[in-house]
Amino acid sequence: MTINGNGEKKAIYPGSFDPFTNGHLDIVQRSLKTFDHITLVVAAAAHKKSWFTVEERVAMIREVFDENPQVSVDSSSGLIMDYARENHAQAVIRGLRSPSDFEYEYMMASMNKNLNPDCETFFMMTSQGLYFVSSSMIRELHRYHGDVSPYVPSPVFERMQKKRTQKKGRTDAV
């Protein structure tokens, strides 16, 4: 892996993070054992209906990593390989929860390698106790007033509760 001009190993971790979960947190914490700096890139995916706005997700994740200078948060609506090139990232981190995730991620990594040959994709399996946690499952559990606090960092949980209060009375709040 080529190290950037500062001698720093930089990676990006793209995703919709709607909401950011303990599974995402686990991937970041473990990735920091390999990389000096990780930028979480919140995707502004036009094809997905988001619960939190991009700005809300960026703010929420920044709050989670407020005390960690090795982690930054940004957003992008373009190709992730363009973002990686422009920000001198040598790697893209992708989390895998199940074998079915691998096929899609493998195809994406292959395309990304063609778009930016200087950037590697690192797959990380989610820790065993978190493999079933996904943002969509968290939203669904929260919609039906299930306790999501074991599955999301506390700043995320607080924002989820606040959003529920703001949308009280609406069945499509999540």
The residues annotated as belonging to the active site are 24, 48, 97, 135
The secondary structure of residue 1, as a DSSP letter, is -
| Segment holding 5, helix H or strand E | none
Q: How far is CA 123 from the centre of its chain?
A: 13
Whether the bond into 19 is cis, omega within 30 of 0: yes
**At residue 137, what is the residue type?**
M
- The dihedral sign for the CA sequence 20, 22, 26, 29: positive
- The dihedral sign for the CA sequence 53, 38, 157, 128: positive
